[in-house]
Amino acid sequence: MPPFRLALAQIDVIVGDVRGNLDRVRSALAALEPLAPDLVAFPELAITGYPPEDLLLKRSFLDEAREAVEALAREVGETIVVIGFPERVADVYNAAAVLRHGRVRHVYRKRYLPNYGVFDENRYFQRGDSIPVYRLGELTLAVNICEDIWYPGEPLTAQALEGDAQLAVNLSASPYHAGKGQERERMIATRAEDNALVVGYCNLVGGQDELVFDGQSLIVDENGALIARGAAFGEDMVVADVRLARVVEERLRDPRRRKVREPDRTALEVERVDLGERRSEARPPLPVRPPIPEPPIAASGQSTEILAALTLGLGDYFRKNGFHEACLGVSGGIDSAVTAAIAARALGEDRVHGYYLPSRYSSEISRRGARSLCANLGIRLMEIGIDPILDAYLEILRPTFEDRAPDATEENLQARIRGNLLMAFSNKFGWLVLAPGNKSEMSVGYSTLYGDMVGGFAILKDLLKTRVYELAGEINREAGRDVIPRETIERAPTAELRPGQKDTDTLPPYDVLDPILEAYVERDLAPAEIAGLGFPEETVRWVIEAVDRSEYKRRQAPPGLKITTRAFGKDRRMPITNRFRG
C-alpha cells in the first residue's frame, strides 16, 4: 500500500469574508497542487471564519457559505478536500464538507457542541446525528470537528473500531491560552494511540476580536508519535506521507479487535460513504521539511509564547478591521512600555504614535523612561503638559466643590484629561487608541473610567501585573538589549496622580494580589480556600470585594486578547447587580 499524502492547510481567515476566505482556500490548494496530496484539510468553519456568532442567524450569510462550498467543489478533482462551513438544512450545523470529483460527496456534522468559556455553539447549532467513515479504495478515512476529538469514545472510537478508519482528520478552531498547545498535543497523541489510527489535526490560526488561534496543526501516528507540527502563530502548509498499512498491522495485534462487540457499543450505526478509488498517478517526492521545532512554551517558557500571541492578535485586529495606525499614552511606567513594544512589533514602529502627557506630579524618571523607550523602539514621542487643562477644570469646579478636600476626584481628572487628548488624536488622524490596563488593575477597579480605560483595544487586558513584568524581560531578552529601560522595570509602580504615590498605597503588593486574583477569577476558589493557601484573610476579603464591585467598570472596558483560561468577558460572565459574597 503506497503512502497516503495528507496536507493540513493552516490558514488565517476573516469572519464574514466568505468570498475572501474562498480565495484564500483556492490559493492554498494551488500551492499544494504540485505535491498531489490525497487529501487537503482546512480548519473548522474556514469558509466563514470562527466564531461567526450571530451572523449564523442570517439566512443570507448561511446561503452564501453554502454557495462558496458548492463553487469550490466544482473545482476539486482527484484530491479530497475537507473544509468547515455552517450548513443550513432543516436546522443549522457546524459541518465539514467532503469534496471530490466536482461535487460535495458528503457532509459531516459536529457531534459535540461546546457551550462553556468563550463557546456558544448550542446557541447556534444542532448536534450531528450520524457517524460516517469514507472508503477510498482499500483505505477508510474519518472526519470529525474540534470538540469531537477532545472526548474519549465516539465519534472517534466508533469511526476507528466500528468503521475501521485508519486515518482521522479533525478540523479545529481551538482558541489559544497559555500552554494550550502542549495540552492539545498530549490529547491528540492519546486519541491516536488509544484508537490505533493516524490523526491529522488542522487548527485555525490568526486573531479574531478577543481570541487568538495559534495554529500548531499536528500529524500524529498510530502510536501517538509526532510526525509533523505546523507553525505556531503563523500560516503553514503541513504535508506528510503517512503509512496507513502500519495501522492495519498494528490492529492485527490489537486485542480489542478480537473481542465480540456489543450491539449497543455506540448509539449510532457507522455510516459508510464511498469516495471512489485512490489517485494512481506518480507524485513528486515531498521537499525536505526542517526538523520539528520545539513549541514556543517548551523552547523558552510561556513569555515567548504569550508575546507571539499578543503580536498576532493585535496585528490581525488592525488588519482585519481596517485600522492602520495606533496611538497611546507613554507614561514611563511598565504597562505602557510593554504595550508600546508589542504595538511596534505588530504594526511597525512608523505606525505607532506615543504621547507623554505629564502633570505636576510626573517625575523626571517617568520622562526619562518615556523618552528612552520610544527612542529604543524607533517610535515618535510627543510631549504635551496637561497642567493648564487641569487648572481650568479645577477652577470651573471650585464653586461646586466648595471647601471639600482633594481626593480621588482630582486624581481621576488627570487620567480623564489624558484620555480626552488621546481620543482627540484618534478622531483627527484616524488612529486607534491602545489602552495599557492590565488584568490586576481591571480586576480590582484600580483604573479610571473615561481615563486610562479609554481606547479601542487593550493588549494587556488578560495579563496580571507580574506577567507584564515577565513580558518586559522577554522583550529585552529577544532584542538582546534593554528596549524597555531597566529603570522602568525596577521602579516601584505608581500612577503619579498625587505626590509620592505608589500602587501599594491602595493595593496589596502584586506578588500577593496576583495569586489571589488567579485563585478567585480564574479558578473560582472561595475566600476560605484562598486564605487556606497562606494569604491573610483580611486581604483576601478586600480583594474579592474589590473584584465584585468593579464588574460595572469592566463592562465598559475596551476589548482585549484572551491569554489565560479565564478572561473577563465571554469567559467570565458575572451579573453587575449581585449580592452574593463567598
Give per-residue pLDDT as tens, 466-506: 999 999 999 999 999 999 999 999 999 999 899 989 999 99
Is the confidence at residue 41, as pLDDT, over 70? yes
Using an 8 Å Cβ cutoff, are 355 and 422 in contact? Answer: yes
| 270-274 sheet: strands from edge to edge | 226-229, 218-220, 198-203, 167-172, 139-145, 131-136, 270-274
Our CA dihedral for 264, 265, 268, 269, rounded to 10 degrees, sits at -100
Q: How far apart (Å, rounded) are the C-alpha atoms in residues 116 and 105?
A: 32
Please tell me the least confidently modeled range out of 70-74, 201-205, 465-469, 568-572.
568-572
User: Is there a catalytic annotation at residue 110?
Assistant: yes
398's CB contacts (< 8 A; 6+ apart) are none
- pLDDT, residue 98, reads 98
| Mean pLDDT computed over 552-569 | 93
Percent of the chain predicted with pLDDT > 90 = 84
Is the confidence at residue 465, as pLDDT, over 70? yes
Per annotation, catalytic residue among 44, 210, 305, 441: 44
Please tell me the least confidently modeled range out of 22-26, 150-154, 385-389.
150-154
Which residue is listed with cell 523602539? 377
Q: How far apart (Å, rounded) are the C-alpha atoms in residues 56 and 154?
A: 27
| Mean pLDDT computed over 441-450 | 94
Cis peptide before 155 (omega within 30 of 0): yes
| Mean pLDDT computed over 418-438 | 97
Q: Is 67 helix (H, G, I), strand (E, B) or coil?
A: helix
Is the confidence at residue 74, as pLDDT, over 90? yes
| Mean pLDDT computed over 381-400 | 96
Residue in 366, 346, 350 with CA at minimum distance from that of residue 358:
366
Per annotation, catalytic residue among 146, 202, 327, 374: 146
* Predicted confidence band of residue 246 (pLDDT cuts 50, 70, 90): confident
Per annotation, catalytic residue among 87, 110, 154, 474: 110
Map 216-237 to HEC letters: CCEEECCCCCEEEECCECCCEE
How many Cα atoms are found within 13 Å in the side-chain-facing hemisphere of 343?
Answer: 37
Q: Is 238 helix (H, G, I), strand (E, B) or coil?
A: strand
Q: Domains in the chain, ordered, with CATH?
A: 4-274 (3.60.110.10), 296-507+550-554 (3.40.50.620)
User: Is there a catalytic annotation at residue 70?
Assistant: no
What is the grid cell recorded at 52?
A: 461567526
Whole-number mean pLDDT of the chain? 93
Is the confidence at residue 403, as pLDDT, over 60? yes
Q: How far apart (Å, rounded) are the C-alpha atoms in residues 344 and 339?
A: 9
| Mean pLDDT computed over 78-84 | 97
Give the pairing type, strands 352-356 and 326-329. parallel
493-527 per-residue burial string, b: 16 or more CB within 10 A, e: under 16: bbbbbbeebebeeebbebebbbbbbbbbbbeebeb
- pLDDT, residue 260, reads 42
Determine whether 299 is exposed, middle or buried from the number of CB atoms within 10 Å of its CB (0-12, 13-18, 19+).
exposed
Helix (H) or strand (E) run with residue 176 in it: none
Higher pLDDT residue, 251 or 79? 79
Is the confidence at residue 264, as pLDDT, over 60? no
Higher pLDDT residue, 102 or 247? 102
- The amino acid present at 18, given as its one-letter code, is V
Give per-residue pLDDT as tens, 186-217: 999 999 999 999 999 999 999 999 999 999 99
The beta-strand segments (E) located in 357-491 are 380-383, 432-435, 457-458
* Predicted confidence band of residue 256 (pLDDT cuts 50, 70, 90): low
- pLDDT, residue 282, reads 81
Give per-residue pLDDT as tens, 99-120: 999 999 999 999 999 988 889 9
Give per-residue pLDDT as tens, 275-305: 999 988 788 888 887 777 776 665 456 899 9
Helix (H) or strand (E) run with residue 554 in it: helix 551-554
Residue in 493, 178, 488, 177 with CA at minimum distance from that of residue 341:
488
The beta-strand segments (E) located in 11-138 are 39-41, 80-88, 92-100, 103-109, 131-136
Using an 8 Å Cβ cutoff, are 346 and 448 in contact? Answer: no
Map 339-372 to HEC letters: HHHHHHHHHCHHHEEEEECCCCCCCHHHHHHHHH
Is the confidence at residue 77, as pLDDT, over 90? yes
Give per-residue pLDDT as tens, 515-533: 999 999 999 999 999 999 9
What is the grid cell recorded at 301?
A: 517558557
> Is the four-CA dihedral 566, 472, 343, 300 of positive or negative sign?
negative
Alpha-carbon distances of 197 from 242, 403, 567, rounded to whole Å: 11, 78, 36
What is the grid cell recorded at 396?
A: 470651573
User: Is there a catalytic annotation at residue 465?
Assistant: no
Q: How far apart (Å, rounded) are the C-alpha atoms in residues 437 and 428?
A: 24
